[in-house]
Amino acid sequence: MGLDFRTATQSAALLLSLLGWVLACLTNYLPHWKNLNLELNEMENWTMGLWKSCVIQEEVGRQCKDFDSFLALPAELQISRILMSLSNGLGLLGLLASGSGLDCLRLGETQKDLKRRLLILGGLLLWTSGVMVLVPVSWVAHMTVEEFWDETLPEIVPRWEFGEALFLGWFAGFCLVLGGCLLHCAACSSPAPPASGRYAVTGLQDHCQQLELKHANPEI
């Protein structure tokens, strides 16, 4: 039963981490980190991501343009690009490492210590990947709130608001962090020893010995 629980925990952690990694990749490339609705022209909406900005018009549709220069971006977008790209790479390495260390795989069954170390390494990489998603998403959200409530700007100036990618990034980060923690717990927990089988064999041997004594000494 202990081994089944350990295997189930590993599988659940890996699936949760895989979901978080896919969502983190989408968060990185979606141009919906910020939304801008123009009150003067309600038929035109602007969206901004880490790599490009888009304008959505009812007549023309969506038109996107990549940012011309990395150095011309605000500091939070520059750091967010780097952290999100590193997060996607570390998440992939974490999935490969933890997937190779699963107990349900027959590969390397005799190398239990190596598989345990792979689980710990994969959990650490996935946990780090999740933190590296939460940091840029929270930073951009913080800067958006500060700019939204900036009293030095005239009220007529439109303000950026939260985009859908921020919420997606928060969810992805929590999935990666939780998946990494579960992998650590599964790696640190030891499988249940096969004690029941040993006790059953011992009891059977004792019973056979008693039967032999009864046949040798009928008076007993």
Contacts 24+ apart (CB under 8 A), 3-9: 3/103, 3/191, 3/192, 6/103, 6/186, 6/189, 6/191, 7/102, 7/103, 7/104, 9/182, 9/185, 9/186, 9/189
Using one digit for the tens of pLDDT, what is the confidence trace for 82-128? 999 999 999 999 999 998 888 777 665 667 788 888 999 999 999 99
Using one digit for the tens of pLDDT, what is the confidence trace for 44-82? 888 999 999 999 887 778 899 999 899 989 999 999 999
More confident residue, 145 or 213: 145
Does residue 196 have a pLDDT over 60?
A: no
Residue of 98, 113, 141 whose CA lies nearest to 9? 98
| Domains recognised in the chain with CATH numbers | 1-32+74-190 (1.20.140.150)
Most confident of 9-13, 70-74, 176-180, 210-214: 176-180
Query: Distance between CA atoms of 187 and 102, rounded to whole angstroms?
Result: 9
pTM of the predicted structure, to 2 decimals: 0.80
- Residue 65's DSSP bridge partners are 53
More confident residue, 113 or 210: 113
